Amino acid sequence: MVATDKANKIRTMKQRGEKITALTAYDYPTARLLDESGIDVILVGDSLGMVVLGYEDTTRVTLDEILHHTRAAARGVKRALLVADLPIHTYDTADQAVTTARQLVEAGAEAVKLEGGVSHVPQIEAISRAGIPFMAHIGMLPQSVREEGGYKVKGKTQSEAEALIADARAVESAGAFSVVLEIVTADLARQITNAIGIPTIGIGSGEHCDGQILVTHDLIGFFPWFTPKFVSPEARVAEEIRKAASAFIERTRAGVRLSNRGKDG
């Protein structure tokens, strides 16, 4: 199935009343496992900056890093739609946005995502005109976390709510096939979902969206140093890794001691 067909399938899931499922992956085995599980969308997100590369936030992630991880993830995906993030300052202009999007497609992405609504309509329209499926992202924008002073819930005030509804309508008109709503109040997420024809995919935005997306490391407890308040991990991978490593250390050291006793005896 070609990329545009996959994106259109995601778009029509809203009309069919089917919930969309999306998770992140940054490497081959994770992408393959998620794909085999039947996930609808796999995102090579710039969240890799924190959960893979050890950065404080997403603002240090480079295009080369996203391209590297997109290539790896693409090798494991057969059926899901593979989306890749445009890193910060790689879409400051419409021309730059298209150039970056094309590089991500060459690396294996089937669709791309950038942060912003009304403010980035020229970039969204240019990417869409280039024939590249586009997923929008509004609400809390991680690439703006330093200016925002942290991760804050969006849509609490009337002015914020009106601006976000305008953002959602703008990205739909500009050609987006879906839109991520990050940390938006549940009531506003419901309003936006009802106001536009493309699917809303929520993260920390309540249950009224047309789908849900999470960072896989949060879902499986693979990044124990920080778990978002809206996530209830389905597994405790970090604990299992620690147990396995401890068992290996104990077994190896015990083997060395036994071997040394044998020689002395």
Closest CA to 169 of 138, 143, 129, 212: 138
Amino acid at the residue 67? L
- DSSP conformational letter for 246: H
Which of 106, 182, 239, 250 is an active site residue? Answer: 182
CA pseudo-torsion sign 21, 44, 103, 138: positive
Tokens of 215: 């960072």
User: What is the chain's alpha carbon radius of gyration, rounded to the nearest angstrom?
Assistant: 21
Cβ atoms of 37 and 77 closer than 8 Å: no
Closest CA to 106 of 71, 135, 72: 71
In the chain the first and final C-alpha atoms are separated, in Å, by: 67
Closest CA to 235 of 37, 26, 49: 37
Q: Report the C-alpha gap between 61 and 23 in whole angstroms.
A: 19
Amino acid at the residue 222? F
Q: Report the C-alpha gap between 232 and 99 in whole angstroms.
A: 38
Amino acid at the residue 146? R
Closest CA to 231 of 211, 210, 205: 205
Active site annotation includes 56? no
Say what angle helices 28-37 and 63-74 make with each other, to 10 degrees.
Answer: 50
Which residues have a catalytic role annotated? 182
